[in-house]
């Protein structure tokens, strides 16, 4: 098998790429980065010393591909399937990349900041940074709620890379800042994403690890909140 994915089933950016792989039933070898598997961790760091996952290894082309958006573009280019993640029209592709950036930078990143702060050692928290992240997340959710009025997917009728980006970002954001009561369009979009078979499979595979997610563990044990 040519493709190997280094990832963790709880990792939100890994979810983004897994959705793309499952959309097209693209065959790949999974390599789960367990913290206690030092040998695998070392092999992974040799591929990508930055150490952030997911990373795709393509034996056929002898390439290591880090960064979730770049991995999905790579899959679309070299292993295309029924779901095309990058629109063919250049203007639509640019708009789609703008949407992908929006989800990564203004929903995913502040969500990660809020979660990561709960994992810091006592006395090392960043209350100001978390407050800024909450403000950014609230602003972005408001924009998304207006944007999604009357729309099915981020780009309209076609499911694209932007939706791969949106799914884990909104799913985890809904755990740290529930928005079903305040942002009906964004919440309905998250529900559609959760019912998409590719993301439903990602969540089912993540479920055994949910007890490691701090907010969920604190709030309700091993099971994450089922609604936004």
Residue with Cβ nearer ligand GSH (68 or 198): 68
Among 6, 28, 44, 53, binds ligand GSH (CB under 6 A): 53
Among 11, 83, 160, 175, binds ligand GSH (CB under 6 A): 11
Least distance in Å: CB of 44 to ligand GSH?
10
Q: Compute the distance between CA of residue 219 and CA of residue 225 in angstroms, rounded to an integer.
A: 9
How many CB atoms sit inside 10 A of residue 158's CB?
A: 16
Least distance in Å: CB of 108 to ligand GSH?
8
DSSP 213: S
Please report whether residue 51 would count as binding ligand GSH according to CB under 6 A.
yes
Please report whether residue 34 would count as binding ligand GSH according to CB under 6 A.
no
Residue with Cβ nearer ligand GSH (22 or 53): 53
Among 13, 28, 210, 213, binds ligand GSH (CB under 6 A): 13
How many CB atoms sit inside 10 A of residue 26's CB?
A: 15
C-alpha R_g of the chain: 17
Residue with Cβ nearer ligand GSH (48 or 151): 48
Residue 153 β-bridge partners: 156
Residues 6+ apart with CB under 8 A from 75: 20, 21, 24, 26, 56, 85
Residues 6+ apart with CB under 8 A from 24: 75, 79, 80, 81, 82, 83
- Binding-residue total with ligand GSH (CB under 6 A): 8
Residue list 56-95, contact with ligand GSH (CB under 6 A): 67-68
User: Applying CB under 6 A, which residues contact ligand GSH?
Assistant: 11-13, 51-53, 67-68
């Amino acid at each position: 098998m040519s493709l190997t994915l280094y990832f963790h089933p709880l990792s939100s950016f890994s979810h983004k790429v897994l959705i793309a792989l499952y959309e097209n039933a693209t065959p790949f070898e999974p390599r789960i980065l367990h913290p206690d598997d030092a040998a695998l961790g070392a092999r992974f760091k040799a591929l990508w010393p930055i150490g952030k996952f997911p990373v795709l290894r393509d034996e056929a082309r002898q390439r290591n591909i880090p960064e979730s958006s770049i991995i999905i573009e790579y899959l679309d280019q070299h292993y295309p399937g029924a779901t095309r993640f990058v629109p063919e029209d250049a203007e639509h592709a640019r708009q789609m990349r703008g949407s992908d950036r929006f989800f990564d930078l203004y929903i995913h990143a502040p969500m990660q900041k809020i979660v990561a702060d709960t994992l810091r050692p006592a006395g090392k928290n960043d209350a100001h940074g978390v407050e800024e992240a909450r403000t950014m997340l609230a602003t972005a959710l408001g924009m998304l709620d207006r944007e999604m009025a009357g729309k099915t997917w981020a780009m309209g009728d076609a499911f694209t890379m932007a939706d791969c980006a949106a799914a884990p970002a909104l799913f985890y954001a809904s755990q740290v800042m529930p928005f079903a009561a305040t942002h009906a369009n964004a919440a309905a979009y998250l529900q559609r994403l959760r019912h998409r078979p590719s993301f439903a499979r990602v969540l089912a595979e993540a479920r055994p690890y949910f007890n490691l997610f701090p907010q969920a563990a604190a709030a309700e044990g091993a099971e994450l909140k089922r609604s936004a």
